Every structure is written in structure tokens, then in C-alpha cells.
A and B are shown apart, each in its own frame.
Chain A
Amino acid sequence: MLSPPTRRLSAVLLAALLWAGCTGCGSEPSERPGASADGPHRGGQVVVALTSDINGINNLIVPASVTTTEVLRQLFLPLVFEQPDSRTIEPALAESWEFSEDRLELTFHLRDDVQWSDGTPVTADDVAFTFSAWTSPEVGWESAAAIEAIDRVEVVDPQTARFHFNRAYAGQLLDAATLGVILPQHAWGALPFAEWRDGADWFRDHLVVNGPFNLASWTPQQEIVLERNPLYYRDGLPHLDRVVLRVVPDQTNQSTQLLNGQADLVIQLSPESAERVEEASDVELYPYWTRGYIAVAWNLNRDGLADARVRRALTHGIDRETLVESIWGSYARPLSGPIPPDVWLYDDSLEPLAYDPETARRLLAEAGWTDGDGDGTVDRDGRPLRLRLLTNSGNQQREDAAVLIQEQLGRIGIDIVADVLEFNTMIAQAQQGDFDGLIFGITLPTTFDLSYAVHTDSIESGTNLAGFSNPEADRLADEIRQQPTLEQAQPMYDRLQRILRDEQPYTFLWQSQRLVGARARVHGVDPNHLFTLWDLDEWWVDDES
């Protein structure tokens, strides 16, 4: 019987030898921690390992990184909380809301018991002030385009704010109430908008919050310490006294800290680390499906790829089941379209294109691509079908996918040249259309607006990477945007998914899980695709003993 240090050392040596991935190593018996017998109670501290630091505490003047959004959510409240099911909305600052009959006015009734951390009440003036900041050209908020349909915000009375829209559409409530948090007019209104972009430190010095936690300290590139906000409106919450968010850029270091107890929660484990976490008895794995997916965009402006039969052949030639299994194990699933199966808009009646090399060869032959010279690569008019497949370095899963696709498509006679580039170089080549295929990752917008990938207008802005232009897809994308509710847009989504299945401008590869790991002493962890630190105010920890 090996002693624990020796067993760990064996695991380390094995990890050193099989660095790219180690399945089945470690011999700790699997024993899932049970729920705490104590129940929720006040006190304690949780240490969270983050991959990167926050950009700042005013999200209007800094890029909205995932970490920044997660942390600011603990400091500031939005008007309402969007729920993970993407259909339900829960009250936050606003206890109720209603649309006018023509849906051009959206009125929010604010709670009267929410106050800023200096004791000043949160009022409709704060909402109007926030809207002024959102739309100020001097502030230059990067998400301002999303609220172009809001003309103005009217302060009806201290507890009532009314948004006036210039058109009705499905995402009105989300855009008005969840896109940004509400900011303190009495504290931040003192700085003219023209000086906001040079005043990041000023906002930190004049910080008041209305969320569950206050910012106790921020040491750049090291840690952010949040402490309980005693004036938080939810009685008895948060349970935790403090949350320490540590910047630990290296993923191996993160998982080691989780296993040795230096960190209580890690936001993103690698699949290899997740396997080790699943084997540990005092750590729990919380996987959840992200709304991000990985796909290959085929450049429709390139010879050969303009033909839908060739694109369908490419998809039939890629064995996504095997690809996903070998890269992710059980932590991802193959994807056949831009709407993942866990989203209610997914059309489950649609038969995805299966892995079928024979059909792929037949489609290629129909399009005029056959192996005339017997060299193993199909050709037409004397030119072989050779495609340059780009992806970015620093993402092992995408690099592995490029190699596997190269091997699989080689079997049906397509010569794939895999080219792994530095991220910015890849983006530049993608924008210039200098590629045949591009492996990319994208997060589905919470509004489910697919125009970024399918609309002709999005070719110029660079998000329709394939250069896909289809009049019916354009019309459907436009109609979806005009529907007052997503339920009414369902038939259009069904049709759009069918067009994408038939045309295959993109080969959708996989949807992966975000692998969150937490020590068993932490309770209430419930990460989802919106926020990993979801309901942080309700978390609690076992008493230290």
C-alpha cells in the first residue's frame, strides 16, 4: 500500500510523462461529499482562483471581460435578474415592471428598501443617470449599440423609471434591464463624462455599492477582496463575510490549489484536471453547459467552397463523435447547429448531418471533385482540393481539432493544411478573408440573435466569417429581430436552423462544459452559463475546525 505522499508523487511523475492528458491515473476512491449538516449560516471566507484580474470597477469604460462582469455583479445590482433557462426573469432592483400596450414604453417600479453602501437610497434618478452614461459618446461604452432602440429614460417618481423605445422587439427587457448594472448618481455624477475614460482610479476612490458585497481591497494582478455589505437589501444575506478572488493565471496551478486547499473554488478546470478532481473525496466538480461553441467557418468566397455540396461533404467527412470524445472525454458533446440542444429554441426534429465518408465522397464527385490522378487527393480541372485550416495557438483543444480534422478529411481525399497562428494574427487573417477554413469559438448572445453568423450585413462587420449570404436567411434574421417575443420567433428559428443544416457554411463541432471545481466545505455553489459565481450571496461554508 503506497503512502499518500508516495501516491501523489507517482501521480506527479505520471503527469510529467503524460503531460498532454492522463486518463485513469490516481487511485483515490470516489466519494462524493454530502450536504452540510449545519445548514446555511453566517461567517467565513471563500478563496476563488481566477484566471485573470478584473479590468476595473466601472464597466462602461473598460472592456467587459468575463471576470470583470462576474465581480461587478457582486458590487452592483441590475434592474432584473435574467435566469439560466433564458425564459424567466426575476426581480432585482425593480420589484415589478410592465409594458405599455404598444410595447414602446417599459416601466420599472423600484424597491424602496435598497440603498447604496453610504446609506443613500437607490432611486429612479440613478437609473436615468446610468442611461445617460450608457449613451454618452464621451464615455464610449462598448455595448451602447445594443440599446439604440431606447430613446430616453423618464423619471416618473423616485421609485419609478420609464424606458421609451423607438421600436418593439423580443429583447427589450433584457437590453434595458440586464445589459448593464445601475450606477450611483450621487457618487459618480460628480465626475463629468468627458473625464470618465481617464479616471478609472477615481471610481475606485468614490465607490459605493448596492450589491451583496463591497470592495475591501484590490491588489492588481494579485487579488480582489470582497467583504459583506451590511446594507444589502436581502435580510441575513450574504452568508459569507469575505470572498477573496485570487489571480492564478496558470491552470495547472489552479487545480493544484483546489486539491491542496489553497483555493476553495476554481472557475475553469481543464478536462485532465477535472478527472483528478472527480477522484478526490473533498472536492466537488460542478460542470455546466456553456453557451459557447466551436465551429469551422468555411470561406464561401474560395473556389470549391462556394458549392454547398462540397461543404456538406466536409461535414459528412468529420467524425465529430470521435473528435469530441478524444479531445474532451465526457465534458463536451457534438453540435450540429448554432443553437445548442439545451436551449428551448433548438429544433430537435432536424436530422443532423451524420459522419458518412461514403456520402461525402459521392457529394464531392457530384461537385466534380474526384481522384483523377490516383494520388489520394481529389482534384478538379487538374487542381487538388487543398484547404488551409486556421486556428489560434494557446488553445490545445482547437489545435487538436485541427489535427484530427486534417486526418479525417484526408481519408475522403481532401488535403487539409492546418495552420496554427498567434491569436491576433489569426483574427487579422480572418477579417481579411485569408483562409479556407477557420476553427473559431463563439458565445451565443443571450438574445439568441443569429444575424452575426448568417446575415449578409454581418459580412462587412466581420462576424459572418463564412461570408454566407442567403436572401431567405437575411429575411428570417430580420423578422426574428422584429418579433415582440422569442416564442413568436420560434418558426423562424426552425427555418433558419434548417437552412444552416442544408447549406453548411459552418461545420459546428462541439459545445463544451465549463468545469468548475469547489471544495466540499463550500455550499450553495450553482454555476451556470450566465455566471459562475451565481447566487454568491447565498453561499455558505462549513465551520472551521
Chain B
Amino acid sequence: MGRYLLRRLAASLLLLWLVVTVTFFLLHAAPGRPTELLGDFGSRALGAEQREQIERIYGLDRPLPEQYVRWLGATLRGDFGTSFDQRRPAATMVVEALPATLLLALAATLVEYALSVPLAVWAVRRRGSAVDSTVRSVSLVFFSLPEFWLGVMAILLFTYVWPILPSSGMSSPGTDLTGWARVADVARHLVLPATVLGVSAAGGSLRFLRNSLLDVMGQDYIRAARAKGLSERRVLTVHGLRNAAVPATQILALNLGALLNGALIVEVIFGWPGLGQVLILAIRTNDYPVVLAATTLSAVVVLATNFAADVAQAALDPRVRHR
């Protein structure tokens, strides 16, 4: 088990290095430079000398390989540089925004599984029936709905037609609540973005769980359980779900990446102050340090979750760690 974990850890670190390195070079190769969007026009235009001066401050005057080595060295020391746009430490900006995104992703995951697990169990129990085909159709609808459309419709329905929920932000305007009042306020603001993100994700996991459960229900040990006289509900929930959970943990980990991607759109629609908003703004303004810090942190979160899923899977299934 120890050797397996070490191997997985080394692979994760290598992947992390690849992700950040490719991002670094792609970012610098992309059209547009950070100073191109500065200054005004006419007599107030940014002169060539001033542009060079600002690029010197940004460290963009050095050859690209040197910039990369300096950036990588600083990153390894935990210094992600200073945002071009806000002149704040990029790491601080990203770390400030991460909890909001993780909260959104966690809540969306809860919505996703609260929808997909019961529906998958129901479909498998009624396999081949109208219920099963309805559930499969529903999963396809969930899967196909674009998040931005779903988001806009949710805003119009629940904040305008029936104004029962707030449509943006993480807290009520200008409030400084504490304790349970704050928890309740954040929860109210979380309902719409988490539901939109969770429903979008539920389509894929519902189909996967249904197929995984069907696969497990055909195994010999399920037949043995039935032969012992256990009820179908008990066979399905105790023996079926537990065994279907092994591949589901992998999907859960992979889903986190998809949820972080989805959060980019959902955060903008709902004004949720998370990593997605920070990243999109940074991309738009060519704010290299923030893009790199956000990418690195997202990659760390996704890789760490996948690593944890590998560990969990190895613990659940001994065959995995001997592969």
C-alpha cells in the first residue's frame, strides 16, 4: 500500500508540474500583452518608454525562459507574484476566493447525489419499465442543459416571477452578520447557484450510477444474497450500492474538476465571489500571476481529490493496490 501511494503521489506531482508549465507558456504565447489594455488615447496614450517601464515592474522585460525559471522558483517558495491588475499578492486573491468555490462545489455535489442516487436506485429497481426510461430521459435532459441557460431561467423564476431567493452574491447587501444568522444568509444565497450546478452535474452521475448498479446487480454475490432470502430493497441498498460505490468514488473525484469548470460560468451568472470570477477577470486582463496562481491551486485541489479517491478506492478494493 505504501509503495502504491508513493507511486500515485509522484504521478500527481509530475502532472501538477506539467499543468502549470503548459499554462505558463500558453499564457505567454496567447495574443495580447498585459500593458496593451493600459492607458488612454491621444495625448494621454501610454508612451513606449512608459510601457517598457511598467513591463519592467511586471518582470516582463526578461527572456521567457528566465521568466519561467524565476516564476517556478518563486512558486516553489510559495510566492505566486503580484497581480498586475490589483497589485495584491496573487496567492492572497486566490486563497480568499477558494473557500467560496469549494463551498459551492460541495453544495452542488450534495444536490447532484441527492438527485442521482435515489433516481438511479429507483430506475434499477424498475429496470426496463416506464420509470427506468423516464429516469434515463431526465438524466439526458440534465446533462444537455447549458448551465448559463439554466442559471438565467432560475434567476428569472425564483427572483422575479416568485421572488423568494436572492439572485447574486454570497450575503445580503451591506450586512455584517455573524453566527447562525450568517450561516442562514449564506445558505439562502447558495441555493440557486448550487442547484443549477448540481442539476447540471446530476445528468452524468445518474447515468453512471444506474449503469454501475445494473452491472453490480448481475454479480454472483447478489444472487447469493437473494438466495439467502434478503429483501430486494436490502440487496440493492446494502450489497448493490456498497459495491457500486467503488467506481462512484472515482467519478466523484473526477466530477470535482467538472464542477470547478462549471463554477466559472455559474459564479459569473450569480455573482458568487469565488475562484471562477477571479480567474475569468484575470484572463480577460492578461493578469498572468493571478491566472497561474488560480490554475495551480485548481490543479492542486483536483489532483489532491483524485489522489484521495485513489486511496479510498485502494482501501475499499484490495485488487486496486496490487495492480
Instruction: Give the residues from 260 to 303 in chain B that come closer than 8 angstroms, CB to CB, to chain A.
Output: 268-271, 273-274, 277-278, 281, 284-286
**With A8-B160, A9-B161, A424-B286 in contact, do A140 and B271 touch (Cβ < 8 Å)?**
no
Instruction: Determine whether the beta carbon of A242 is less than 8 Å from that of B54.
Output: no
Q: Please, which residues of chain A bring their CB within 8 A of the CB of B173?
A: 45, 47, 223, 244, 246, 262
User: Does B255 lie at the interface of the complex (its beta carbon under 8 Å from any beta carbon of A)?
Assistant: no
Nearest Cβ in chain A — how far from B172, in angstroms? 9
Q: Which 6 A-B pairs have the closest CB atoms?
A: A424-B32, A428-B31, A449-B42, A452-B41, A221-B273, A200-B87
A-B contact pairs, 20 of them (CB 8 A): A5-B161, A63-B85, A145-B46, A200-B87, A248-B168, A249-B268, A249-B277, A250-B151, A250-B152, A250-B270, A252-B152, A424-B32, A428-B31, A445-B43, A445-B44, A450-B42, A451-B43, A452-B42, A461-B47, A463-B42
- Find the A residue at minimum CB distance from B153: A16
Bound: A9/B45 CA distance, A: 49
User: Does B195 lie at the interface of the complex (its beta carbon under 8 Å from any beta carbon of A)?
Assistant: no
Instruction: Determine whether the beta carbon of B48 is less than 8 Å from that of A461.
Output: yes
User: Does B39 lie at the interface of the complex (its beta carbon under 8 Å from any beta carbon of A)?
Assistant: yes
Instruction: Give the residues from 145 to 199 in chain A that come closer than 8 angstroms, CB to CB, to chain B.
Output: 145-146, 171, 179, 197-199
Q: What 0/1 pattern do residues 34 to 55 of B give for CB contact below 8 A with A?
A: 0011111111111110100110
Bound: A256/B152 CA distance, A: 10
Nearest Cβ in chain A — how far from B203, in angstroms? 20
Please count the residue pairs between chain A and chain B whose beta carbons lie under 8 angstroms apart in the complex. Answer: 196
User: Does A201 lie at the interface of the complex (its beta carbon under 8 Å from any beta carbon of B)?
Assistant: yes
Instruction: Determine whether the beta carbon of A262 is less than 8 Å from that of B166.
Output: yes
Instruction: Determine whether the beta carbon of B48 is less than 8 Å from that of A146.
Output: no
Q: A200, A217, A222, A244: which contacts B271 (Cβ < 8 A)?
A: A222
Bound: A453/B54 CA distance, A: 24
Q: Which of A54-62, A321-329, A483-491 contacts B (4 or more CB under 8 A)?
A: A54-62
User: Does A219 lie at the interface of the complex (its beta carbon under 8 Å from any beta carbon of B)?
Assistant: yes
Bound: A452/B46 CA distance, A: 11
Nearest Cβ in chain B — how far from A245, in angstroms? 9
Nearest Cβ in chain A — how far from B11, in angstroms? 33
Bound: A423/B44 CA distance, A: 22
Instruction: Determine whether the beta carbon of A246 is less than 8 Å from that of B271.
Output: yes
Q: Please, which residues of chain A bring their CB within 8 A of the CB of B53?
A: 137, 140
Q: A62, A197, A246: which contacts B57 (Cβ < 8 A)?
A: A197
**With A56-B87, A200-B86, A256-B159 in contact, do A246 and B169 touch (Cβ < 8 Å)?**
yes
User: Does A472 lie at the interface of the complex (its beta carbon under 8 Å from any beta carbon of B)?
Assistant: no
User: Does B156 lie at the interface of the complex (its beta carbon under 8 Å from any beta carbon of A)?
Assistant: yes
Q: A146, A219, A242, A253: which contacts B273 (Cβ < 8 A)?
A: A219
Nearest Cβ in chain A — how far from B259, in angstroms? 19
Instruction: Determine whether the beta carbon of A427 is less than 8 Å from that of B31.
Output: yes
Instruction: Determine whether the beta carbon of A423 is less than 8 Å from that of B284.
Output: yes
Q: A12, A179, A242: which has the most chain B beta carbons within 10 Å?
A: A12
- Contacts A63-B285, A146-B40 known; 16 new A-B pairs at CB < 8 A: A9-B161, A45-B174, A140-B57, A142-B50, A146-B43, A244-B173, A246-B173, A248-B271, A250-B168, A256-B167, A260-B159, A422-B31, A428-B31, A431-B36, A447-B42, A447-B44
Bound: A354/B95 CA distance, A: 56
Nearest Cβ in chain B — how far from A539, in angstroms? 16
Give the bracket for the number of chain B residues in contact with chain A: 35 or more
The majority secondary structure among interface residues of chain A is mixed
**With A222-B273, A262-B159, A463-B45 in contact, do A427 and B169 touch (Cβ < 8 Å)?**
no
Q: Please, which residues of chain A bring their CB within 8 A of the CB of B43?
A: 145-146, 171, 445, 447, 449, 451, 481
User: Does B19 lie at the interface of the complex (its beta carbon under 8 Å from any beta carbon of A)?
Assistant: no
Q: Please, which residues of chain B bring their CB within 8 A of the CB of A219?
A: 273
Bound: A8/B153 CA distance, A: 12
Q: Please, which residues of chain A bring their CB within 8 A of the CB of B38?
A: 63, 142
Instruction: Determine whether the beta carbon of B174 is less than 8 Å from that of A252.
Output: no
Instruction: Determine whether the beta carbon of A145 is less than 8 Å from that of B159.
Output: no
Q: Please, which residues of chain A bring their CB within 8 A of the CB of B87?
A: 56, 58, 61-62, 197-200
- Find the A residue at minimum CB distance from B97: A221
Bound: A8/B164 CA distance, A: 14
Instruction: Determine whether the beta carbon of B30 is less than 8 Å from that of A424.
Output: yes
Q: A55, A140, A201, A221: which contacts B278 (Cβ < 8 A)?
A: A221
Nearest Cβ in chain A — how far from B188, in angstroms? 12
Bound: A294/B141 CA distance, A: 41
Q: Please, which residues of chain A bring their CB within 8 A of the CB of B170?
A: 222
- Find the A residue at minimum CB distance from B81: A198
Bound: A250/B264 CA distance, A: 12
Instruction: Give the residues from 89 to 139 in chain B that come closer than 8 angstroms, CB to CB, to chain A.
Output: 89, 92-93, 96-97
Nearest Cβ in chain A — how far from B287, in angstroms? 10
Instruction: Give the residues from 53 to 103 in chain B that come closer than 8 angstroms, CB to CB, to chain A.
Output: 53-54, 57, 82, 85-89, 92-93, 96-97
Instruction: Determine whether the beta carbon of B45 is less than 8 Å from that of A461.
Output: yes
- Find the B residue at minimum CB distance from A263: B173
User: Does B176 lie at the interface of the complex (its beta carbon under 8 Å from any beta carbon of A)?
Assistant: yes
Bound: A242/B174 CA distance, A: 9
Instruction: Give the residues from 420 to 475 in chain A that come closer than 8 angstroms, CB to CB, to chain B.
Output: 422-425, 427-429, 431, 442-443, 445, 447, 449-453, 458, 461, 463
Q: Please, which residues of chain A bring their CB within 8 A of the CB of B313?
A: none
Instruction: Determine whether the beta carbon of B30 is less than 8 Å from that of A144.
Output: no
Bound: A142/B173 CA distance, A: 33
Q: Please, which residues of chain B bring their CB within 8 A of the CB of A442?
A: 41
Instruction: Determine whether the beta carbon of B44 is less than 8 Å from that of A145.
Output: yes
Bound: A140/B153 CA distance, A: 45
Instruction: Determine whether the beta carbon of A250 is less than 8 Å from that of B45.
Output: no
Instruction: Give the residues from 156 to 187 in chain B that come closer than 8 angstroms, CB to CB, to chain A.
Output: 156-157, 159-163, 166-171, 173-174, 176
Instruction: Determine whether the beta carbon of B40 is less than 8 Å from that of A445.
Output: yes
- Find the B residue at minimum CB distance from A138: B57
Bound: A453/B45 CA distance, A: 12
Bound: A428/B32 CA distance, A: 6
Bound: A222/B185 CA distance, A: 14
User: Does A257 lie at the interface of the complex (its beta carbon under 8 Å from any beta carbon of B)?
Assistant: yes
User: Does B217 lie at the interface of the complex (its beta carbon under 8 Å from any beta carbon of A)?
Assistant: no
Bound: A218/B172 CA distance, A: 14
**With A62-B86, A250-B268, A253-B155 in contact, do A452 and B45 touch (Cβ < 8 Å)?**
yes
Instruction: Determine whether the beta carbon of B85 is less than 8 Å from that of A145.
Output: no
Bound: A428/B174 CA distance, A: 41
Instruction: Determine whether the beta carbon of B32 is less than 8 Å from that of A451.
Output: no
